[in-house]
Structure 1
Amino acid sequence: MERKLRASQFHRKKTDLPSQLDTYVSKLWPDHFSIRLLLRNILVTIFSVQLFTATILLIITAIRDRHKKDRSFPHIDLKEVQVGENRLQLYDYGRELYKDMLEAIDNAEESIYIESYIWKDDEAGWEFKAHLAQKAAQGIDVYVIFDQIGNLVVPQEFKTSFDPAIHLLQYQAFGLIQHIIDPRRYALDHRKLLIVDGHTSFIGGYNIGSLYANTWRDTHLRIKGPASAEIARSFTDFWNRFCPRDKQISRHHPRRFDPLINLHGNDALRLTFPIRDMYIEAIHRAEHSIYLSNAYFVPDGSLLDALKEAALRGVDVRILVPWVSNHVVTDWISHSYFSECLEAGIKILGYRHAMLHAKTCTIDGQWSTVGTANMDRLSSIGNYEINVEVYSSEFAQQMERLFACDTEDVIELSAKQWHKRPWYNKLSEHILAPLRFMM
């Protein structure tokens, strides 16, 4: 009898176990609990903190810029150099660049192709429009491309007031409603080009505007010679892809192989991004020096690893960035890379004279690149970009001279100094660091 009673009690306890567990779980996880809701709340909280941090930084920047005065910056005169069949001229000052660009436009005999991510409604912007209109009136074929999103803040009247004789393409990322679900269509046209008669070309970081002419430190390159035809072909390929069929350019610019000057262009629709690969391969080959100037230093893992590995094997790696750029959030995201760069032996140099907008690199006194691509994810695997790769010791010497001029008076970080920065700086960097995958 006693055994039967114990068995009955055991059976009842065993039977009640699931219900006891349910009661315990319900106390831990209420009926209204949802993993999806928890994740959503976590993401909303993280995003809100990031947004709040970014807003505070933008407010601080606006207050700072209100009292900021334009400062002059050092720049040097560089002579034209011969590279194979082409003559190359470097520019580090916008006013001198614009002068030569307008002169090339005025001397055009057949065609003018001009492409700019940003085209400001100011004195410089109107001056370019006037010179182009004059050439179009003379019967020269004038083609203009600018990015619609890049010029959102430019008045619509300015964007639509080009002379009717000028062929105009306002590139827009989303031509059709279904493009919104295609990640490839989110690419912007970040290129800056001018090609005259398929023989004289300009390529680099300068947009069109008085701000860039006078107060920004940027780098641009002029090429006179057959290599310009390849740049002209890149322009016509882009134009013909995005313009109406009846507006396509029929003029042919021959492709050619040049062992000394190569053109690399990102193509978002085809998912080809050779500029990033060009950088990685050149960095892997470096033996002595890497001098890199870039406006927005937010490299992906492979690019960053290549730079750190070069420094660890004894290469003199120096990275010049604007100490204060025009995008304060990008600055703070960029800062989150500095610790591991410094620990690997990379020298981080902050340019403080002006906004540094250059996108250049020279390696071992032999290899150089000038172009439109920043060292961030938007340029590496996103936007339409274009860079020239040059194999020439004489041209590399000029690039080194330019880098030496830019780094005469800079803020050079040390690992010890950087680790001692205020805690709130470190906190802001950590909060904003996840945004690096969007920059």
Structure 2
Amino acid sequence: MIPRLKHAFSIKAVLRTLLVTSVSAQVGTAAILMLISAIRDRNKKQRHFPHIDLREVQVGENRLQLYCYGEDLYRDMLDAIDNAKESIYIESYIWKDDEAGWNFKTHLAKKATEGVEVYVIFDRFGNLVVPHTFKSSFDPAIHLIQYQSVDSVGHLIDPRRYALDHRKLLIVDGHTSFIGGYNIGSLYASYWRDTHLRIQGPASAEIAQSFIDFWNRCSKKNNAITHHYQRRFDPFIDLHGNDALRLTFPIRDMYIEAINKAEHSILLSNAYFVPDGSLLDALKEAAHRKVDVRILVPWTSNHVVTDWISRSYFSECLEAGIKVIGYRHAMLHAKTCTIDGQWSTVGTANMDRLSSLGNYEINVEIYSSEFAQQMERLFACDTADSIELTAETWHRRPWYTKLSEHILNPLRFMM
């Protein structure tokens, strides 16, 4: 018995040592990368990037306007706010304490004092570094929720309660809506490459009702929104929203279904490419069917550890025939895809596990060849002067790069 006990204890000791060593290596590698990133960012100059103007298109009963430059988007969002007659619903993961952030607050406060019902949601965790004075200084006439999912001791043991509100929405009078990747802040207005969409028409009512449903779940009963927008089926535009509390994540399924139907091309742009096995398999199988699969990611994002974890997928993608392209002009924050010149999606969900199976997200799905042509034009603009990897050059990257990727690999399941 004693030798067996000693043997059991020795195995436990070895496993414990291996675990501690692995975790220490991951923490150490991540710390070094973040330090290097901080030094790099301190000396980096923000610069503008190529972008194009796209005209409004008609899709069914709705008019759609695609944005790829924040200043244009913010101008039209503020114009929509200024022309509101009845209601303004606005939701943002991040809301910066800067010129753009204050500009939105000022316009919203003016409309609230005029009698327009203004409702604001932003994520408390996403704005941890934003000064409390900014977050607490919204006009009293504005209805406000600082969303936090964990607000009791019992929530700590419920994994559903760790989901963040990562949605970015603006809906005015139930008729004009904005949805996409843009948060609110001056940096995003000029120096981040992102994608957003304006919808004018009956499809906005569905987005408005999505906001109302989320608000009423999170607010006190005496502050509920009583207005109801009638939902309807639209053959050209559909809305998909992740609901962490109900464990429903239709955006991931939407992507997989669309990728599985692809016959000619898949043009995917995403800020944080850390797909789960099913998503990655769907992309690889499409490439094996000779579909032209192209993935555009930021060559240097605002999360250096995620960059390195994302790059650990590149070898597998390249070997499967997927083209991997690095955007180098700015931080690429878009979350879009267009397939076969027919199907497109624009929204808030990244292609990582936090968005696929965690956070509250929202994407719009569009069936329109005219809109898909605009998405293809935008993708062509973004990839005109970017870095396209080849299997040969990627496999020749330095050994210490490969080692760092290998060390960080286990963190895939947390991203």
CA distance in 1, matches of 2:396, 2:247: 42
Q: Which residue of 2 aligns with 1:168?
A: 144
CA shift, 1:175, in A, is: 1.5
Aligned residues: 415
Q: Which residue of 2 aligns with 1:258?
A: 234
Q: Which residue of 2 aligns with 1:302?
A: 278
Q: Secondary structure at the match of 1:428?
A: helix
CA distance in 2, matches of 1:62, 1:223: 38
Query: 326, 329, 335: which one pairs with 2:305?
Result: 329
CA shift, 1:41, in A, is: 2.9
CA distance in 2, matches of 1:40, 1:238: 43
Gapped regions of structure 2 (runs ≥ 5): none
| Structure 1 position 128 matched with structure 2 position 108 | no
Query: 408, 411, 414: which one pairs with 1:435?
Result: 411
CA distance in 2, matches of 1:235, 1:40: 47
CA shift, 1:252, in A, is: 1.1
Q: Which residue of 2 aligns with 1:17?
A: none
Residue 52 to residue 394, structure 1, CA distance change in 2 (3 Å): same
Query: 89, 101, 112: which one pairs with 2:88?
Result: 112
Query: 103, 127, 130: which one pairs with 1:154?
Result: 130
Q: Which residue of 1 aligns with 2:75?
A: 99
Q: How does 1:305-320 map to 2 (within 5 A)?
A: 305-320=281-296
Q: Secondary structure at the match of 1:33?
A: helix
Q: Which residue of 2 aligns with 1:338?
A: 314
| Structure 1 position 82 matched with structure 2 position 58 | yes
Q: Which residue of 2 aligns with 1:63?
A: 39
| Structure 1 position 227 matched with structure 2 position 203 | yes
Q: Which residue of 2 aligns with 1:144?
A: 120
One-letter identity of the residue aligned with 1:44: V
One-letter identity of the residue aligned with 1:33: F
Deviations 1:161-183 (A, max 9, x none): 00000000000020111101001
Residue 37 to residue 77, structure 1, CA distance change in 2 (3 Å): same
Query: 360, 368, 371: which one pairs with 2:347?
Result: 371
Query: 47, 51, 60: which one pairs with 2:23?
Result: 47
Q: Which residue of 2 aligns with 1:5?
A: none
CA shift, 1:34, in A, is: 5.3
User: How large is the RMSD of aligned CA atoms in angstroms?
Assistant: 1.2
CA distance in 1, matches of 2:7, 2:152: 44
CA shift, 1:31, in A, is: 8.4
CA shift, 1:30, in A, is: 4.4
CA shift, 1:37, in A, is: 4.2
| Structure 1 position 268 matched with structure 2 position 223 | no
Q: Which residue of 2 aligns with 1:18?
A: none
Query: 388, 392, 411: which one pairs with 1:412?
Result: 388
| Structure 1 position 394 matched with structure 2 position 370 | yes
CA shift, 1:301, in A, is: 0.3
The structure with the largest alpha-carbon Rg is 1
Deviations 1:311-348 (A, max 9, x none): 01100000000000000000000000000100010000
CA distance in 2, matches of 1:210, 1:137: 25
One-letter identity of the residue aligned with 1:113: Y
Q: Secondary structure at the match of 1:384?
A: coil
| Structure 1 position 183 matched with structure 2 position 171 | no
One-letter identity of the residue aligned with 2:16: R
Q: Secondary structure at the match of 1:56?
A: helix
CA shift, 1:94, in A, is: 0.3
CA shift, 1:72, in A, is: 1.1
One-letter identity of the residue aligned with 2:289: R
CA shift, 1:202, in A, is: 0.1
Gapped regions of structure 1 (runs ≥ 5): 1-21
CA shift, 1:239, in A, is: 0.2
CA distance in 2, matches of 1:239, 1:159: 18
Deviations 1:213-257 (A, max 9, x none): 010000000000000000000000000001111110001111000
CA shift, 1:40, in A, is: 3.0
CA shift, 1:42, in A, is: 2.2
Normalised by the length of structure 2, the TM-score is 0.98
Query: 183, 193, 201: which one pairs with 2:169?
Result: 193
Q: Secondary structure at the match of 2:374?
A: helix
Normalised by the length of structure 1, the TM-score is 0.93
Q: Which residue of 2 aligns with 1:291?
A: 267
Q: Which residue of 2 aligns with 1:6?
A: none
One-letter identity of the residue aligned with 1:206: Y
CA distance in 1, matches of 2:13, 2:87: 59
CA distance in 2, matches of 1:85, 1:180: 45
CA shift, 1:189, in A, is: 0.1
CA shift, 1:38, in A, is: 3.7
One-letter identity of the residue aligned with 1:215: Y
CA distance in 1, matches of 2:13, 2:83: 65
Q: How does 1:206-221 map to 2 (within 5 A)?
A: 206-221=182-197
CA shift, 1:434, in A, is: 0.5
Q: Secondary structure at the match of 2:9?
A: coil
One-letter identity of the residue aligned with 1:294: N
CA distance in 2, matches of 1:273, 1:90: 25
Q: Which residue of 2 aligns with 1:351?
A: 327
